[in-house]
Structures are given as structure tokens and as C-alpha cells.
Amino acid sequence: MRFRGTLAVLVVIGLTAAPAHAETPATIAHAQRTDGWQLVLTDGSVVDLPEALTVAPKNALSEGADTPLLISGDGRYTFYYRKKDGLFVRRAVHGTEKVVTKHISVDSIGEQWPFISYDGDYVVTGTSAPGLGAFVDLRTGRKPPPPEKTDAWSFHGFSPDSERLALSRETDGPVVVFDRGLRSRLRAKTRLYPVALAGDYRTAVALVGKSDKYRKLRLLDLRTGRAIGGVVNVRLPGGQYIDDVDFARDGRLVVRSRTATGVAVHEVSPKTGAVTLLREIERPDVPVWVLPDDTEYAPWAKRPRK
């Protein structure tokens, strides 16, 4: 599974009860796919997305493949491939569609996948090349070329505020932290593989252990190249593993893990590995569901076969 830097910050939504205000707009709690895609909002209402593709059409290179739908971490935007032309678009909850770039279309499914920043304003595409494809800043409309005149990068994630991107060269490994304009801001002194970047733009977290069975992590200081403390055993309940890990916008280290009934969200002590349950999310009775900041289908996305 690919991790990215804004996955767990979605827990900011709904973790702390806030006073109800009529003027507070509802955001996206999750999306679900039955015959078509629907958005379930935080106020309980449901928005149909009849224009969103569920599978690649007959004339696509990836005919019949599931087409992913993504939600920004803040729950304001959904991204999908639209029926009329197969292009990848962004749509506000009750807004209009905006094409991200014509370089991302339904024909690229299986060969290219988008990563979305927490605020929904920046899109990076990974490719099977290996390397990265498009960089699109939707705030400015800029589509800068790959940094340092090469697309041979791996994507490690966004910072929680969406202002930094962590990439590493496919060939030599060390992480480089770029700003949204793809100007280099920090060159890491470690070749360890971080999966999330903190809000200070220099602290990162790496997973330790067997893929898909992660229960350990370590913090890294990218500026010095040194580990911050030792390997931490994350004390998740039995049968749960780290499926996503990230730094929340308030600095907390947060993991999400699949459960028998849905998803559990825990805060983790980076010193002791002790966990505090923040939220449990029960999966709806639908074939596919998507949470804010899920990647192209997270471990819990599809209903288990009976």
C-alpha cells in the first residue's frame, strides 16, 4: 500500500464535538458506491453524483476497471472521473466541476493515480513508470514541470497544512521537501523511507516491520538524518495494524486501522506507543465506501466477501 502525507488528518473532522451553528456548511463524511456514487454529508444528507464514473467505459484502455473517487481531507471537495469525457475533476459539495488537468483521464487508470492535499487544492500523480506525472496547484492554476528537470521521484506526502511536498529521487533515495511551487526547501540526510511529514517540515515518520502488518514506527529528523528516539511499538488492539499514519494539523501522531466493522482512529504517543481511541467509524452496508483522504482504494474500501 502507498502511504501519503495527509491520510490521517481527516480525524480533525468529527473528533471533537463543536457547537452546532446553522451557518456551518456540511462537509463530506464519506462517499459510497451502490449503482452509482453518493456523498454522505456530516449533517446526514445525501448528494447523488450521477456524473461520476464507477467503472472505466468500453472505449477506455482500462475498460471495466473500478474508477476511484477521492475526498479531500477537510471534506470540502470530491474528485472523480466524469462520464461525458473521462476527465478527472474536482467538485465542491454543492458546487460545479473543475477539470484538474487534461493529462489525468480515465485512460490512465492503472498506470497513474492521483494524490490529493488535505485542502483539496493540490494534486500530484504517481505513475507506474516509476516516477511522478502531473503537479497541479488548483489555487493558482499552475502546472509546473517536475522539480529539478526530472520526473524520477517517489511521493512521500504533503505536510498537514498542504504547503510542503516530500519527494525522493527514485535512483538515490534521500528525501527532498519542496514548497508548492516545487522549490527545494530541505534535503534530508537520511535514506530511510518516511511515509508522512509533520507540520514543522522536518520531522517525519517511518514504518518498521512487515508490509501490511505494521505495528512499529520511528520518528526521523530529516535535517540531521538522525532518528528521534528508538523504534516505537504501537499498542493497537489485537488484530489491528497500521493501515495509515500521519501527523494531524495540531501535531498529534495519528493512525487509522481496519477493524471488523469499519475503521478505528487512534492517537499514538511517539514516546511510549500508547494509543488513545479517537473515533470508530462503522462501515455502511454498501459495496464500496471512501473516507476523506483515502487513497485509491484504502484497505477498508470494499466490502469483504462473505
pLDDT digits (tens, 9 = 90+) for 184-227: 999 988 777 889 999 999 999 999 998 889 999 999 999 998 89
* Number of alpha carbons in the 13 Å side-chain half-sphere of residue 105: 13
- Written as one letter, the residue type at 227 is A
β-sheet bridge partners, residue 267: 254, 276
C-alpha cell at 283: 462501515
Residue 181 reports pLDDT greater than 50: yes
Q: How confident is the model at residue 131 (pLDDT cuts 50, 70, 90)?
A: confident
Residue 3 reports pLDDT greater than 50: no
Long-range contacts made by residues 266-275, C-beta under 8 angstroms, separation at least 24?
266/236, 268/217, 268/232, 268/234, 269/232, 270/219, 270/228, 270/229, 270/232, 271/229, 271/232, 272/232, 273/232, 273/233, 273/234, 273/235, 274/235, 275/234, 275/235, 275/236
Residue 20 reports pLDDT greater than 60: no
